[in-house]
Amino acid sequence: MNIHIENLSKNFGATQVLRNIGLEIPDREFVSLLGPSGCGKTTLLRILAGFEDPSEGQVLFDGKPVSSPGHSVPPEKRNISMVFQSFALWPHLTVREHLEFPLRHHRFVAEEIRGNSKRHIEETLEIVGLSRLAGRYPAQLSGGQRQRVALARAMVTRPAVMLMDEPLSALDAGLRIAMREEIQRIHRICGCTVLYVTHDQSEALAMSDRVLIMNNGIIEQNGNSADIYYRPATPFVARFVSGSNLLAGEWHGEAFCFGSQDRYRWIVPDVQDAIKREGLCPLRPDQLVFTSDPGELPGVIQNVQFQGRENHYTIGTALGALRMHIPGADRCEVGRQVFLALRDKAESAGAPADSAIPCAQVSLSI
């Protein structure tokens, strides 16, 4: 199902939570809505589900209006399913009964599915790996198994749209990653449009055809994962999605000049004009390296965290603290003095490999 959102705003009393949102979500696309807590993600999802009316604007499903101020088609009359963060299972129903219920009551279930509901339920249980647990009640399941029930219940009717509100956030880190693949598979099998709300950057980038970055009630960027990660449109997106450092300085084409009297000049391609206009340069932690070149930016290691395949550093510089991610297990200790360069520049100048970390006596003045 195609979703069209037009000039959508939502106020709660005097507070405007959504501001003039316009959006087109094509049929079968997997779209994530990513943003910090309180930016309006759930409110937008609830309007799409029919639980809230917009204050202004409208929503159309396949060209038909379903939400406008004071007039919203109720959730049960939309061909949608929802998956909640809290799972929202029914304690008195078994796993199998959780799937039987929507098949009996969802008004959009295809005749072919309704006529073969027993087989269809078995297939769905198989897809989510719950066949052996079909007779259990929610209290007899682990968190991951409960979430599978919630996903199975949402997909069993083969809805045109699945709306998911932070469906993995109650699970532990390992299970969250395993369930991502499950959700991608369910999306492929169902062939439905998915709108997936999360505040987890890696979850959104990993699974989606498209990611919408929300901040303070507006969509700051709408693009595929690579665009969002490598070509952030705003300083907020750069910081929120990849944890980029934001350096202040002056742009001359692709050359970013910073430090006193523009002492440093780094060539940084692919930075969007909106960020350049603010005199900022976003640098992801993986774009910086240590170098032995004393003409580069000096700093002192303030903190280091071992992360297995890489170390995460915080470096104190005259420009403020900068974050760096350096591949390799070797690590430099807190208090060491270092020089920082841009990764590409350092590598093309034949800088040492990342695991060999040159340290030097430096002065922090620039």
How far is CA 96 from each of CA 82, 152, 190, 268, 320, rounded to the nearest angstrom? Answer: 18, 10, 19, 56, 57
3-state SS, 259-326, equals CHHHCEEEECCCCCHHHHCCCEEEECHHHEEEECCCCCEEEEEEEEEECCCEEEEEEEECCEEEEEEE
Task: Indicate the helix (H) or strand (E) that contains 210.
Answer: strand 210-215
Which CB sits closer to ligand ATP, 35 or 232?
A: 35
Write the CB contacts of 154 (distance below 8 Å, at least 6 apart in sequence): 81, 82, 83, 162, 164
Question: Where on the chain is the footprint of ligand ATP (CB under 6 A)?
Answer: 12, 17, 35, 37-43, 199
Nearer to ligand ATP by Cβ, of 42 and 311: the residue is 42
Tell me whether residue 38 or residue 327 sits nearer to ligand ATP (CB atom).
38
Shortest Å, Cβ 197 to ligand ATP? 6
Q: Measured from the CB atom, is 83 or 346 closer to ligand ATP? A: 83
Q: How far is the CB of 44 from ligand ATP (least distance, A)?
A: 7
CA 291 to chain centre: 33
Give whichever of 10 and 331 is closer to ligand ATP, judged by the CB atom: 10
In this structure, which long-range contacts are made by residues 255-260, counting pairs with CB atoms below 8 Å and at least 24 apart in sequence?
256/281, 258/319, 259/297, 259/318, 259/319, 259/366, 260/366
What is the Cα 340 distance to its own chain's centre?
Answer: 29
Distance CA 177, CA 31 (A): 18
Tell me the closest approach of the beta carbon of residue 39 to ligand ATP, in angstroms. Answer: 4
Q: How far is the CB of 109 from ligand ATP (least distance, A)?
A: 30
- Nearer Cβ to ligand ATP (47/109): 47
Query: By C-beta, is 109 or 212 nearer to ligand ATP?
Result: 212
CB of 49 to ligand ATP, least distance (A): 12
The dihedral over CA atoms of 66, 70, 74, 75, expressed in degrees to the nearest 10, equals 70
Rounded to a whole number of angstroms, the minimum distance from the CB of residue 298 to ligand ATP is: 39
Smallest separation, CB 238 to ligand ATP (Å) = 20
